[in-house]
A and B are shown apart, each in its own frame.
Chain A
Amino acid sequence: MKCARPKLKGWKEIPEGGTIVEPGSSIQFDVSAWRVSRPVIDQAKCTKCGLCWIYCPDSAIEFKDGKYEPNMLYCKGCGICQKACAPKAIIMFKEGKK
């Protein structure tokens, strides 16, 4: 089996001084493999207090169409959101299990 090596930029292509010219480009970095468990929000129980969102260390909880939802590309599964949820609308499920 051949190991595929990504083509990395050469010194002429890297911006001067190693500057990163794309703000917020860490969104391309996949941290989902770090996760051992995932949060699931029961929207019926959610009171929209927003604490899960304001406490998330990974900017992984998104507020869309009037609902808070964790983005599984960025969630590291720490469970801070679950602990912060007073109405217990968030349940952590082990990854790999249904």
Chain B
Amino acid sequence: MSTTRRSMSGNYAIAYAVKMADVDVIAAYPITPQTTIVEKLSEYVANGELDADYINVESEHSAMSACVGASLTGARVFTATSSQGLAFMHEVLFMASALRTPMVMANVNRALSAPLNIWNDHSDAMAERDSGWIQLWASSAQDALDLTIMAFKIGESERLPVMVNLDGFILSHTYEPIDLPNAEEVRKYIPSRPLTNRLSPKTAFSIGVVGPPEYYYEMKYQAVDAIEKSRSKIKDVYAEYEKIFGRGYRDVESYGIEDAEIALVTMGAMTGSARIVSEEMRAAGVKAGVISIRTFRPFPSEELLDLASGLKGIGIMDRATTPGGPSNPLFTDIASCLYGSSRVPLQGFVAGLGGRDITLDDFRMMFRETDRASKEGRGRSPIYVGLRE
């Protein structure tokens, strides 16, 4: 397999993947820290490097709306957003999944207002976890590129929209050496989307109809079933991608988990820091591991249950909050998937909101608190890491 190594930011890696995917339509609106993706894409289109229609919409709401319209014709579609932009798309996200319009969206994770904050956390994507979208999470710029390519494969096969998440600035703007796959190989891997003729005079279908009470429930269940069924496809695509391009992905990535007694669950870029500290903990005699959620929707319940079975304590780091909720989003998901099958103590953490650094010391504390929970046999209420009183 011929590859080229190049230094690229996460955002440029995504733009490069979209170019290789030969998308037909891009509809996008600028928002920090996503903007360099769509800037690069409009440059590709302007230079003739990418043959696509680039729609400069007047809002994210219209970006998502135009993407749904474009996808109805059978075109390959891409958009990118962050934070308020994703929140503004909220309504239309549910229509994209329920109407089965595949598309790929890069969501460069950023905090939600108020107060206004352009820096990284996961509150934007977490607020859309019930929208019926597949959510894949990158831990590096290389992941972002690979996941974007795979997202087209998964989404178009399952006829579902796929969100590729990457941490704002930390991944989006940091340059890393990236192995670029061969463009021809990528085209072979994701050839043009088959035209479904959904919006065509040949079929004259009516799409997006009124679902009265005697039908709405069944139609909604179709969306539930669709994302459930996508589980096996996602696994297949990860495996196939590894075979062709040499880099393997799992729904749940784990490090040093085989003999671990405690583990910290993270998502996104912070996985690297967690690994460093877990090794430090091991040197100090605590058998610590790291679990990173790659496929957040559909949620990898079985995989997590498997991993949890050998553990005596699990720490869960959320980079978002659920004010007034039973706990924070990732914690709630994991607690609910372990309920009834595992009694492993869970300790929740909230860290890194609005771009606050999560230091190695913070990770040391999180591992120590997880260790304490494992010894006490129960976790305490969520710890807000680094919060000043």
Interface residues of chain A, those whose CB is within 8 Å of chain B, are 8-11, 14, 16-21, 23-24
Among B198, B209, B218: residue with most chain A CB under 10 A: B218
Q: How far is the CA of A21 from the CA of B200 in the complex (A)?
A: 11
Please tell me if B207 contacts chain A, counting CB pairs below 8 Å.
Answer: yes
Which one of B219-227, B270-278, B283-291, B294-302 is at the A interface?
B219-227
Cross-chain contact of B225 among A11, A18, A21, A24 (Cβ < 8 A)? A11
Determine whether the beta carbon of A18 is less than 8 Å from that of B221.
Answer: no
What are the residues of chain B within 8 A of A10 when measuring CB–CB?
218
Please tell me if B122 contacts chain A, counting CB pairs below 8 Å.
Answer: no
Q: How far is the CA of A11 from the CA of B159 in the complex (A)?
A: 17
Give the size range of B's interface with the partner.
20 to 34
Determine whether the beta carbon of A8 is less than 8 Å from that of B211.
Answer: no
Q: How far is the CA of A43 from the CA of B215 in the complex (A)?
A: 45
Q: How far is the CA of A66 from the CA of B99 in the complex (A)?
A: 44
B210 to chain A, nearest CB (A): 9
Please tell me if B100 contacts chain A, counting CB pairs below 8 Å.
Answer: yes
Interface residues of chain B, those whose CB is within 8 Å of chain A, are 98-100, 159, 198, 203-209, 211, 214-215, 218-219, 221-222, 225
Known: A8-B215, A21-B203. 16 other contacts (CB 8 A): A11-B219, A11-B222, A11-B225, A14-B215, A14-B222, A16-B100, A17-B98, A18-B98, A18-B99, A18-B209, A18-B222, A19-B205, A19-B207, A19-B209, A23-B204, A23-B205
Determine whether the beta carbon of A11 is less than 8 Å from that of B205.
Answer: no
A81 to chain B, nearest CB (A): 28
Q: How far is the CA of A16 from the CA of B209 in the complex (A)?
A: 12
Determine whether the beta carbon of A16 is less than 8 Å from that of B206.
Answer: no
Q: How far is the CA of A14 from the CA of B198 in the complex (A)?
A: 15
Determine whether the beta carbon of B218 is less than 8 Å from that of A19.
Answer: no
Q: How far is the CA of A71 from the CA of B203 in the complex (A)?
A: 27
What are the residues of chain B within 8 A of A8 when measuring CB–CB?
214-215
Determine whether the beta carbon of A18 is less than 8 Å from that of B219.
Answer: yes
Determine whether the beta carbon of A14 is less than 8 Å from that of B205.
Answer: no
A91 to chain B, nearest CB (A): 36
Determine whether the beta carbon of A17 is less than 8 Å from that of B222.
Answer: yes
Determine whether the beta carbon of A17 is less than 8 Å from that of B99.
Answer: yes
